[in-house]
Structure 1
Amino acid sequence: MKLPGILALAAPQSVGGQAVIEGVMMRARDTLAIAVRKADGTIVTEVRPWFSLARHPWLKKPFVRGFPVLLETLVNGIKALNFSAMQAAEGDEEGGELTTWHLVLTMVLALGAALGLFVVLPHFLSVGLELLGLAGDVDSLSFHLWDGCIKMAVFVGYILAISLIPDIRRVFEYHGAEHKVIWTWESGKDLSPDATRFFSRLHPRCGTAFLLFVLVVSILLYAVLVPYLLTWYSPEHFLAKHLYIVGMKLFLMIPVSCIAYEMIKFAGKYSRNVLCKALCWPGLMMQVLTTKEPDDSQIEVAIAALQCAVNAEEC
């Protein structure tokens, strides 16, 4: 499919996106578009309906919608990554799309790895500090302070480690291109590399900021709710007690994601407000690590994705 012509965009609708392998995925309302730069230099685009789990009105309500949105974003993101990998490596060959079972398995593995790295590992490292006498019991504030500090260290360390991989750096450059193009769109400017180049690569509605909100909310919620829930039931055996607590923490990720989603929606909507700027600042600083300055060819790919998302009939 060819790249649509440059558009002058006024009164824009809300859009979002994600970097993929040698490309960008953009979403506008119920449509997503993926644009990928192939090995021969051409841009291939794919327009698809947005897979949604929140079809019932109740699932779209504030402080409920966050968890379904997280799951559907993961599904659409994995499928977009799969498409981009096929196009970047093999061209237009068919038959490589993930089956439903492959998608479910990939999601389970991805969620399991994330929860293991950012929930289970910090908890048991904090248990180790408790055994060394450096932290209190799990119902004390010091335990959860250590747990929170370890979470943050693991998060930052993970991002720093993967940023050393050349292919991931390329993804981070496309991540920067995605943000720049969204800023251009939201400012009502012409979608062109010349107009886009000078916009910031940092954006308050970024998924990196969402993950940071998730970490902060989880630290605060665990510090309050875990000791309270232990007053209702607390296994006597040491290992059983901590496995029970980890299970509670995993379940509490549902309300954590719902609260974090509302926070990032609020911060993005009122980004000029002083309080919202303060809320956004840590996430923006984290994006210094997860985005890199793109070149014009990468900006062109992000523009192609956005134009196809908002004008699907032209792609």
Structure 2
Amino acid sequence: MSRDIKKTSIGGQALFEGILMKGPFVSSIAVRKPDGEIEAKIVERTTIAEKYPIFKLPFLRGMGILWDALRNGTKAIDYSLSYYPEEEKKSSKLADFFYSILSILVTGLFIALFFFVPTWISNLFADKINSIFVLNLIEGFIRVIFFLIYIMSISQIKDIKRVFRYHGAEHKTIACYEHGEELTVENVRKHSKLHPRCGTSFMFNMVLISALVLSLFGWPNPLLRFATRILIIPILVGITYELNRWMGKSDSKLAKILALPGMFVQYIGTVKEPSDDMIEVAIAAMELVIPEDSHADEL
């Protein structure tokens, strides 16, 4: 007789030689130190929804959770890097990558790459194509291509590949827990490295949804069109979060079909097969956030 698979709200983030796990009440970090030992602990977690309860509401909660992930994830990255020599951190491509991402978010280059450039390129076709819907689809297609190139490019960096292997350990461990099995390396190993509620799926689905939502806004002049793309981001985040949450809960054929694009991007880019020692780190992080009440973490 088949066993029902639990849909847990527990999620995680791969770090430098470690994993951040977020449970329903607490978060944890587990890091493989240079001497080979695992350092695992409960970490302080603050959420914007605690301060502003409006971010607990559907569609708004997605923006709050994304903000919390960026803020708390950055702190966790700093912590995982703190175990390694200063000269190694400075030379590490991984450290450079994460701090570059933060810089990009601050300066707006990330937004320019995924919103301004596709808008500008698609505008070159405006004189040749009369359909506003088609022009928006072209812009969305260009944005998808940019995203895939970005993901596949960073996945070739040696240090990033290792982080993506920890990402796989996180997914496998969560899947093992959802199947109600004991968290051992052997049990975790046999589960899929892909998960429908992954952050990669969230980002890629947001890119896809943007092509459909933005088609409703016509084709104004380039400056107004770029402004529209920026202002629409919170709405896209809210819609995509609710979609990903539903896909993570549902066993319907429709949910599985809609999850395929995000799972494909995980497969080709951001999630790799972990080693046994990486799985041990994921298990250590997971065990600290599992609630005593088995229903407390259900979606």
**Per the shorter chain, which TM-score range?**
0.7 to 0.9
> Which has the greater radius of gyration?
1
The match for 1:244 is 224
Give the 3 Å change call, closer, same or farther, for CA 30–282 of structure 1 in structure 2: same
Residues 1:152 and 2:117 are matched in the alignment: no
1:30, 1:49 within 8 Å by CA — same for their partners in 2? Answer: no
* Distance (whole Å) between structure 1 residues aligned to residue 115 and residue 214 of structure 2: 11
Normalising to structure 2: TM-score of the pair? 0.85
RMSD between aligned residues: 2.6
Alignment of structure 1 residues 130-141 onto 2, 5 Å: 130=126, 133=127, 135=129, 140-141=132-133
The match for 1:125 is 121
Of the three residues 240, 250, 253, the one matched with 1:274 is: 253
How far residue 88 of structure 1 moved from its aligned partner, in angstroms, is 3.8
Of the three residues 5, 11, 18, the one matched with 1:23 is: 18
Task: Give the 3-state SS of the residue equivalent to 2:190 in structure 1.
Answer: coil
- Deviation per CA, 1:172-194: give whole Å up to 9, x if none: 10000000000011111111101
Q: Which runs of 4+ in 1 moved over 4 A?
A: 10-13, 105-108, 133-136
Give the 3 Å change call, closer, same or farther, for CA 154–21 of structure 1 in structure 2: same
Residues 1:60 and 2:60 are matched in the alignment: no
The match for 1:94 is none
* Distance (whole Å) between structure 2 residues aligned to residue 274 and residue 106 of structure 1: 36
How far residue 311 of structure 1 moved from its aligned partner, in angstroms, is 6.8
Task: Give the 3-state SS of the residue equivalent to 1:14 in structure 2.
Answer: coil
The match for 1:303 is 283
Give the paired residue count: 275
Of the three residues 212, 219, 222, the one matched with 2:211 is: 219
* Structure 2: 5+ residue stretches without partners: 87-99, 293-299
Taking every aligned residue pair, what percent have the same amino acid on both sides? Answer: 36
Of the three residues 16, 28, 48, the one matched with 2:43 is: 48
How far residue 217 of structure 1 moved from its aligned partner, in angstroms, is 1.4
* Structure 1: 5+ residue stretches without partners: 1-9, 91-104, 231-240
The match for 2:241 is 261
Give the 3 Å change call, closer, same or farther, for CA 294–246 of structure 1 in structure 2: same
